[in-house]
Amino acid sequence: MAYEITIGDGALEATFVPEVGMVGNSLRHNGEELLFQRDGLAAYKEHGSVFALPLLHPFANRLSAWEFELGGRQVKLDPDSPIAHRDAATGTVIHGLIAGSSHWKVIDADRNLLTAELDFAAVPQYMAAFPFAHKVRYAASIAQTTLTVTFSVIATGDQRVPVSFGFHPYLTLPGSDRREWQLEIPVASQGVLDERMIPTGETKVIAPGELDGPFGDRTFDTSFPTVYSDGPDGSSRAFSLADGNRKIVLQHVSGYPVSQVYASENSDFICFEPMTAPIDAMVSGDRLNWVEPGGEFTATFTISVE
Give the whole-angstrom CA distance, residue 162 versus residue 34: 32
Q: Residue 178: what are its φ and ψ, rounded to 5°?
A: -60, -25
Please report the pLDDT score of residue 237 as a whole number.
77
Residue ranges in 135-260 assigned as alpha helix (H): none
Query: pLDDT averaged over consecutive 10-residue blocks of the chain (306 residues)?
Result: 88 97 98 96 92 98 97 95 94 96 96 97 98 98 98 97 98 96 96 96 93 97 87 71 97 95 96 97 96 98 97
Q: Where are the domains of the chain?
A: 5-179+216-221+244-252+262-305
Q: Strand, coil or helix: what is 188?
A: strand
Q: Percentage of the chain with pLDDT > 90?
A: 93
Q: What is the pLDDT of residues 194-243, one digit of tens each?
A: 999 999 999 999 998 999 999 999 999 999 998 887 655 655 679 999 99
Give residue 180's Cα distance to chain centre.
25
176 strand-pairing partners: none
pTM of the model: 0.96
Q: Which of the following CATH numbers is that of domain 5-179+216-221+244-252+262-305: 3.40.50.720, 3.30.230.10, 3.30.70.100, 2.70.98.10?
A: 2.70.98.10
Please report the pLDDT score of residue 228 as a whole number.
81
Nearest alpha-carbon partner for 227 in 184, 181, 180, 288: 184
Residues 6+ apart with CB under 8 A from 217: 179, 265, 266
The helix or strand, by DSSP H or E, that contains position 139, with its residue range, turns out to be: strand 134-143
Q: What does the chain come to in residues?
A: 306
